[in-house]
Amino acid sequence: MRTIYVDKNIPKMLAVKALRPVWPGVAFSPLSPARMVELSQPPLPGPNGVRVRNRVCGICATDLSLFFVHADPAIGPAALPGNSRFYLGHEVVSEVVEVGPQVKKLHAGQRVVMEHRESGASCRELGLDPVCRFCQAGLPNLCENAAGTVGLGGGWSDGYTAHASNVYPVPEDLSDDQAAMVEPMSVAIHGVLRRPPGAQERVLVLGAGIIGLFTMQAVRAFRPRARLTALARHPHQAQAARHCGADEVVTGGEVYAQMARLTGAHAYTALLNRGMLMGGFDVVYDCVGSAASITDALRWTRARGTVVLVGIDLSLLRVDLNPIWYQEVDLIGSKTHATSEWQGTRQHDFDWAIQFQRSGRMRIEDLITHRFPLAEYRQAIRTATDKRRTHAIKVVFDL
């Protein structure tokens, strides 16, 4: 079984971080903690285990952050016990090839998508009884006992093994591409439902990568009349943002002045200061999660508005938090996906994504821009990274 993983090897991680500015290819070198290897076929991880063969898997920004060691070992979650090895790839649709004797709801030949493998094993995977309060509430993304991984392999593999509760069946009427995009769609849906916009509120989505584009679609699915603005880095992303429902797209220039014009706010600047709006957006979904994007998001949000942190760059961040105090802005986190409620209906975010794809309210057309076999993973990673040159939106492995 071919698989790509990153070892939690601190000396190698620090070496890559130190050498990357002068040696851009260090992440592909023997000094890197990332490896592509051939493993013997692992056994099922117990009677509740499953084995799957992968079909399509997306390359996610989180995968790239681990591969290039952008993730900082000094961030809070890195102190928690967990994986010593990270198998990359979670935006994956697979076919079940074997199930353990206690697995009743899955069968060979069934297609499934991965659920929460990268976050660590939850209570049910660990066989704990009683489960923690978050697993009981359908929020395994916040499990208080999450530790390690049950099974071997990931989406950037020929297949993987897992606990049966870590895979989710998908209906036959979804294509493989649609099924593979259920997971990133669910991240966007979960973020929007952490703080749904009002019927006609002013909404800003920061970032026009795949999570940002799906966030725009989710806003339109839940609140068709919201006034939606997007901030995009590249022209091809701006075009995709318009196709995904943005009323206005900002791509550069005097960004603070443009945000003020779009919201009717007053923009102020001062010496040694990037600026501040009085007034601004009702809700901002930050799908980038960098120090700069969070700082701007907080300054572009009206008093008592909300910033939802959908993306994160997994490093120590120096952020100006003063607008949280000065404007009483709410800063809310949104981690991956779980169970969310909208207008009295509570269901798994995967089910929201499947429902919206079936109804046409969320679409993948033209968003998968590049495909590679797993053997060409170096070129696939470079394509996904250099978006300005390649015009990539979503790069996938065709397995």
Q: What is the pLDDT of residues 43-72, one digit of tens each?
A: 999 999 999 999 999 999 999 999 999 988
Give the per-residue pLDDT at 313.
87
Quote the DSSP letter at residue 157: B
Give the per-residue pLDDT at 150.
87
pLDDT tens for 111-154 read 999 998 777 788 988 889 999 999 999 999 999 988 778 899 99
61-70, 77-86, 110-119, 323-332, range with greatest mean pLDDT: 323-332
Q: Where are the beta strands (DSSP E) in the chain?
A: 2-7, 34-38, 49-58, 85-87, 91-99, 111-114, 159-163, 167-169, 202-206, 227-231, 248-250, 266-270, 273-278, 281-286, 301-309, 330-333, 339-342, 345-348, 368-372, 394-398
Give the per-residue pLDDT at 308.
98
Is pLDDT at 216 greater than 80 in this prediction? yes
Task: Give the whole-angstrom CA distance, residue 359 versus residue 354.
Answer: 9
Residue extent(s) of CATH 3.40.50.720 domains in the chain: 188-337
pTM exceeds 0.85: yes
| Chain mean pLDDT for the chain | 95
What's the mean pLDDT in 318-333? 97
Is pLDDT at 176 greater than 80 in this prediction? yes
pLDDT tens for 269-316 read 999 899 999 999 999 999 999 999 999 999 999 999 999 999 998 889
Task: Return the percentage of the chain with pLDDT > 70, whole number.
Answer: 99
pLDDT band at residue 77 under the 50/70/90 scheme: confident
Please identify which residue in the block is written with the tokens 């009717």.
Answer: 264
Give the per-residue pLDDT at 46.
93
Give the per-residue pLDDT at 251.
96
Cis omega (within 30 of 0) for bond into 130: yes
Give the per-residue pLDDT at 384.
97
Is pLDDT at 233 greater than 80 in this prediction? yes
Give the per-residue pLDDT at 71.
84
Residue extent(s) of CATH 3.90.180.10 domains in the chain: 2-181+368-398
Identify the CATH class of 2-181+368-398.
alpha beta
Give the per-residue pLDDT at 85.
87
Domain 188-337 has CATH 3.40.50.720: yes
